[in-house]
Amino acid sequence: MATTTSPPLQLASASRPHASASGGGGGGGVLLAGGSGGGVAPGWGRGRLQRRVSARSVASDRDVQGPVSPAEGLPSVLNSIGSSAIASNIKHHAEFAPLFSPDHFSPLKAYHATAKSVLDALLINWNATYDYYNKMNVKQAYYLSMEFLQGRALTNAIGNLEITGEYAEALKQLGQNLEDVASQEPDAALGNGGLGRLASCFLDSLATLNYPAWGYGLRYEYGLFKQIITKDGQEEIAENWLEMGYPWEVVRNDVSYPVKFYGKVVEGTDGRKHWIGGENIKAVAHDVPIPGYKTRTTNNLRLWSTTVPAQDFDLAAFNSGDHTKAYEAHLNAKKICHILYPGDESLEGKVLRLKQQYTLCSASLQDIIARFESRAGESLNWEDFPSKVAVQMNDTHPTLCIPELMRILMDVKGLSWSEAWSITERTVAYTNHTVLPEALEKWSLDIMQKLLPRHVEIIETIDEELINNIVSKYGTTDTELLKKKLKEMRILDNVDLPASISQLFVKPKDKKESPAKSKQKLLVKSLETIVDVEEKTELEEEAEVLSEIEEEKLESEEVEAEEESSEDELDPFVKSDPKLPRVVRMANLCVVGGHSVNGVAEIHSEIVKQDVFNSFYEMWPTKFQNKTNGVTPRRWIRFCNPALSALISKWIGSDDWVLNTDKLAELKKFADNEDLHSEWRAAKKANKMKVVSLIREKTGYIVSPDAMFDVQVKRIHEYKRQLLNILGIVYRYKKMKEMSTEERAKSFVPRVCIFGGKAFATYIQAKRIVKFITDVAATVNHDSDIGDLLKVVFVPDYNVSVAEALIPASELSQHISTAGMEASGTSNMKFAMNGCILIGTLDGANVEIREEVGEENFFLFGAEAHEIAGLRKERAEGKFVPDPRFEEVKEFVRSGVFGTYSYDELMGSLEGNEGYGRADYFLVGKDFPSYIECQEKVDEAYRDQKLWTRMSILNTAGSSKFSSDRTIHEYAKDIWDISPAILP
């Protein structure tokens, strides 16, 4: 097992002038190196960089000589080099890169060569950052997430390093265009939606603000899937993002950790528990640099791949012809990192998902602990661990961090339970991202018992201690209240209560009178009829003797009887129901095992406290807090919208807003300036022209740049209500068809309605919605009566790069989830930053965006979160009366106007009062009339372009709160207790 005293990329020694971690960082470049010519690739201008320094090679633990000090840093080095030297360096990589033939300098080859050139430049600060954290032994945050939706790295890296112009000019000298070269980069398929994009924004802000922090994730070979839209709707094929290699990663074969599954737990002679046997794999690190903006801080994203040691290849089986058996261990290990969120309908799928989550937790914690031990040296004290390490669990996927950290501290490091628990609780924190039941993960206890037997033991003990805490807080007088709290708060669900607690829930039972007491009563009664005192005395004495003998006997019999019948007398609540699965409630474990629980928007955090985890909030109110999400203004305005970015800087008078978004508010004083209005609309039009080309390329549809661009792009899910949007479009289309040409032009503003997003492969209803949207598009877009007045577009395979094109061009953006169901959202923030006006419900971050940009600059409709439960109850009781317009649009869909596909199931989900998949759980019918009336107000506002432009400017001006820089400052101060570590 390798320790992690090595940095993201090891410094090269004199004997290996181009050496890095196994897998390489690309031939030379600005690597710290010694010897003749020491690792500076041709074209970088050795004369300018020849500045001899001493550095420590962590791998070899020897002093090495190098031409550049880590403190020299970037961007100053590159700014002094110039575009000609950069062009020479790119050419060097193009000539010697092993992936391509040297004959033809294609845009793809240019991209890989350019990426390697930039990576060379990043290595100086990457190593310097690691060395500085190590030297100063700072407290470091570690962000664990199953998703990191990074987007393209090239434009982001050169943008953060402020060398975009130099690279554009260098590529021009080589006959290439930067935009064309950058477009060759596939999006890294390491995420699906907002969860992963948020994690990536956080990494950008952490580096930009100089916070010591790393990200940890899995290196998925195929990601989620590549979405193809056919006549049958969405189809999925494997994502091929790694097909041509990923030039931004450094494979760290020297940094790997064992990860175990199955086996059994035994107690050793040392008194410790030992997890032995089972299936063993190896997690191998792949490092990706995360450069900050206008800073030399370059943090690390460490991704794990999975394999097995060479000795696990069954050579004998292979030679005997049993090739499948020979590869079995290797394939079992490799498939862990094949797919993001493998289907979990099957037992195998469930096991694979759990393996993924444990691999992330185990490898990352082993790495973190190795780094802690290395930095502590001889002064190692485990009590210091929480003062040096902060672990943030991004949603419930990394929950196994809690029992895994406990296991390592107790079983490997020899700490007691109380010591390990204290350390774990002070180290780990949890971000809740959703109130949806399917996302508050519940794992089968039986599956976990087989796969992770030691962790189940630890979880059982945590659960038992939690039960004792609950009993201690609420007492035993009110058993109904106690029962309620245990049902809500236990980590293990449908699992027997401990015997000591079960006795609190014994039902009262009528007890029969003992025979001794009966006989005594009869004897005493007979005394009353006897006059003879002497006889009476004898009878009394007999009664007393009999009573004593019989009572002693009966007491013993009664105890035995009570023990025999106790199970019958226990409340059924204390026993598991064999008809129901036994599960581990991961979210409850997160709350119990961490020191902080945060929601991601003000309304969401209140729902977390008052509903989702109310009982926990009552017990530990100080654990709960809010951290409203944010997005990085670098990627989401500065780089993806250069036209608007230049405009903002011009009118504000500087580009300081990129690091201090509060300065965006200065735009408010120009909100009515006609010159700004004119330039603002021109910038928007230029962005729309790019999207016109993108739509034609991706779908074949031709749309007008003069129409309003109305966009809803996000994961396809019923609660996000793409169905409400498309039904609104269908209603609009139907009304258009009922009018003359003149009436249509007068009544409706031209619109291009753009959708994008993936439906999970096994989510049938979501895939029906995709099919429905594409069928509506096929009908509407070919209707010559309608022309450019209405177009519907579904952009396939939505990802970060598509978002970077669509968001700057958008004019209306739809965030229309059922109130109380969207934790926050982050795309709403990106749209607002780019001067797009939102239509939405009071849900998630919409609430705060509306407050910041002004109620008059936000189109609001729909029921509010506090009304939802009552509205669903009204539906269940059959009291809901649908709006006639809603019934009209459903009937129109069923008429077959959009093709032969039957939408009975989809429309049926909006009908009835009860039943799975019916009864309009997401209240599309309830909000439909409010929605279409609000859309009429949108049309009215868009006709007044002066008003619309003013609203657009004020959306950008009011979006300063939603920078991820603000969010990260709050996490650092309130949860992680870390401080900036600025390289000297």
Which amino acids are annotated catalytic?
A: 433, 714-715, 720, 826, 830
Biggest alpha carbon–alpha carbon distance for the chain: 133
Structure tokens at 206: 């952490």
Task: Indicate the burial class of 267 (C-beta count within 10 angstroms; 0-12, 13-18, 19 or more).
Answer: exposed
* Cα–Cα distance measured from residue 153 to residue 171, given in angstroms and rounded to the nearest whole number: 17
Cβ 453 vs Cβ 464: under 8 Å: no
Give the C-alpha distances (Å, rounded to integers) separating 502 from 466, 589, 984.
15, 22, 61
* Cα–Cα distance measured from residue 286 to residue 835, given in angstroms and rounded to the nearest whole number: 38
Q: Name the β-bridge partners of 838.
A: 813
923 phi, psi to nearest 5 deg: 60, 40
Cβ 816 vs Cβ 714: under 8 Å: no
| Nearest residue to 572 via CA among 668, 473, 506, 658 | 506
- What is the edge-to-edge ordering of all strands in the sheet holding 442-444? 442-444, 583-585, 492-493
Cα–Cα–Cα angle for 931, 934, 940, nearest 5°?
A: 150
**DSSP per-residue codes, 614-672:** HHHHHH-GGGEEE----B-HIIIIIIT-HHHHHHHHHHHTSSGGGT-GGGGGGGGGGTT
| Nearest residue to 169 via CA among 90, 45, 83 | 83
Give the 3-state DSSP-derived string for 97-139, with helices as H, strands as E and coil as C.
CCCCCCCCCCHHHHHHHHHHHHHHHHHHHHHHHHHHHHHHCCC
Contacts of 437 (CB under 8 A, 6+ apart): none
Structure tokens at 450: 């087989």
Give the C-alpha distances (Å, rounded to integers) separating 506 from 329, 464, 488, 499.
51, 19, 20, 11
Residue 236 three-state SS: strand
Structure tokens at 619: 């017990």
* Cα–Cα distance measured from residue 817 to residue 930, given in angstroms and rounded to the nearest whole number: 14
Helix then strand count (H, E) for the chain reads: 38, 24
* Cα–Cα distance measured from residue 55 to residue 813, given in angstroms and rounded to the nearest whole number: 52
Residue labelled with tokens 């004898």: 538
* Cα–Cα distance measured from residue 145 to residue 396, given in angstroms and rounded to the nearest whole number: 9
Residue 886 three-state SS: helix
* Cα–Cα distance measured from residue 488 to residue 162, given in angstroms and rounded to the nearest whole number: 52
Q: Name the β-bridge partners of 140.
A: 389
CA dihedral 466, 460, 357, 336 (to 10 degrees): -170
H or E element that contains 302: strand 298-307
CA 148 to chain centre: 8
**Residue 438 identity (one-letter amino acid):** E
Residue labelled with tokens 């074209």: 43
| Nearest residue to 249 via CA among 170, 185, 311 | 185
Residue 819 three-state SS: coil
| Nearest residue to 193 via CA among 608, 851, 719 | 719
Structure tokens at 402: 């809690």
**DSSP per-residue codes, 374-396:** HHHGGG--GGGHHHHEEEEEESS
